[in-house]
Structure 1
């Protein structure tokens, strides 16, 4: 479980701004479930999804997502993992493979999280950000993710990873604009716990 609590380059839960935000969110959370809910709702509702808002900055590192207030789903999942870890809650990254336009190919990865809750074990949550047709909620033990699978080639990968996939980091760090990231969204047909 220690790897799901550790700070790292992209999930920098030891950054002072992350620690301060995590402490503020924990003040009203109380139980692990309450703290997880507050962290989830903060990232879902207060951090803009880059594509939805056509923000100009591309973020990857959790502290940059917090500072800029924006990120793709992957970057938002890095921030949520960092806030949860800063509050002592084991957290990892999960992925789905989804149709970009809901009509088959092309496909891309979608980033979300899992948190270890003492009452429920690993619980997946999706802080992508709600909009018309997207209603992700925190209602353990039931999952209510942003996107249901609709195509036979879509995938719901069960692995809970401690670190982001290299292909995700590459997409967020090698492109300077939100449009460029969108034009090069990462994809994978298989993901294992050791990916």
Structure 2
């Protein structure tokens, strides 16, 4: 588990801002499961899910950058949660899968020309001698607006996307698992995005950002 405790270029758990964030969140808690739960909810709800504004660069995907921005999408929020876990001494890694997303917006679907999200990211904590999935992507406010159930995390059971929304409609489907990684596999994701979303030219330029006008929370709907 040693490698899953070490800081990396993206999971910069030694960053002072990350350390201060973790200390504030966990307070006096010393139990790893309780700490992981607190960190999960702090990242899930304290950082809005925003696929309208993505800085897919080595700097933009660092945990400390996400912390400073106050928002991210599934991958960058998973990186932040992984850094928080390592900062408190919990072995943590990243997992990825292609998912068919039924929570989107007309703007995003038009831009993507697809409802499949390549390399959706989540976090895994090693707690009580097993790996437990934690998906901090969708904040509660977004879930309430889109009428889907927010994902809960109890430190014992996998927290993965619900198959159906609150009305019983299809919500999320996992298609392809890409496995687990000790650091963000930036180049692999870059190559997948370039293949699957060639129209997102801004994602593939150095220091460029992908932007869509408006707020995803206001436009999102489960369908």
TM-score scaled to structure 2, two decimals?
A: 0.68
1-structure distance, mates of 2:72, 2:204: 12
Q: 1:97 to 1:57 in 2, by over 3 A?
A: closer
Report the Cα offset of residue 100 of structure 1. 4.5
Gaps of 5+ in 2: 104-113, 164-170, 194-202, 213-223
Q: 1:125 to 1:94 in 2, by over 3 A?
A: same
2-structure distance, mates of 1:5, 1:65: 20
**The residue matched to 2:65 in structure 1 has which SS?**
helix
**The residue matched to 1:81 in structure 2 has which SS?**
helix
Q: 2:169 aligned with 1:168, yes or no?
A: no
* Deviation readout 1:124-153 (Å, 9 max, x if unpaired): 0000024132421112422231244965x8
**The residue matched to 2:153 in structure 1 has which SS?**
strand
- The structure with the larger Rg is 2
**The residue matched to 1:76 in structure 2 has which SS?**
helix
Alignment equivalent of 2:161, drawn from 146, 150, 153: 146
* Deviation readout 1:26-50 (Å, 9 max, x if unpaired): 2143310010011110100001111
1-structure distance, mates of 2:91, 2:190: 21
Q: Which moved more, 1:82-91 or 1:170-179?
A: 170-179
Report the Cα offset of residue 106 of structure 1. 5.4
Gaps of 5+ in 1: 180-195
2-structure distance, mates of 1:161, 1:28: 30
TM-score scaled to structure 1, two decimals?
A: 0.77
What's the C-alpha RMSD, in Å, of the aligned pairs?
2.9
**The residue matched to 1:138 in structure 2 has which SS?**
coil
- Pairwise mapping of residues 1-195 of structure 1 onto structure 2 (< 5 A)? 1-51=1-51, 54=52, 56=53, 58=55, 59-100=60-101, 107=116, 108-117=118-127, 119-130=128-139, 131=143, 132-148=147-163, 154-157=175-178, 159-165=179-185, 166-168=187-189, 174=205, 175-179=208-212
Q: How many residues are paired up?
A: 174
**The residue matched to 1:17 in structure 2 has which SS?**
helix
* Deviation readout 1:151-189 (Å, 9 max, x if unpaired): 5x81244x331011223367667441244xxxxxxxxxx
Conserved? CA contact 1:94–1:161, under 8 Å:
yes
Higher relative contact order (Cα pairs below 8 Å, separated by 6+ residues): 2
1-structure distance, mates of 2:190, 2:12: 14
**The residue matched to 1:160 in structure 2 has which SS?**
strand
Conserved? CA contact 1:128–1:146, under 8 Å:
no
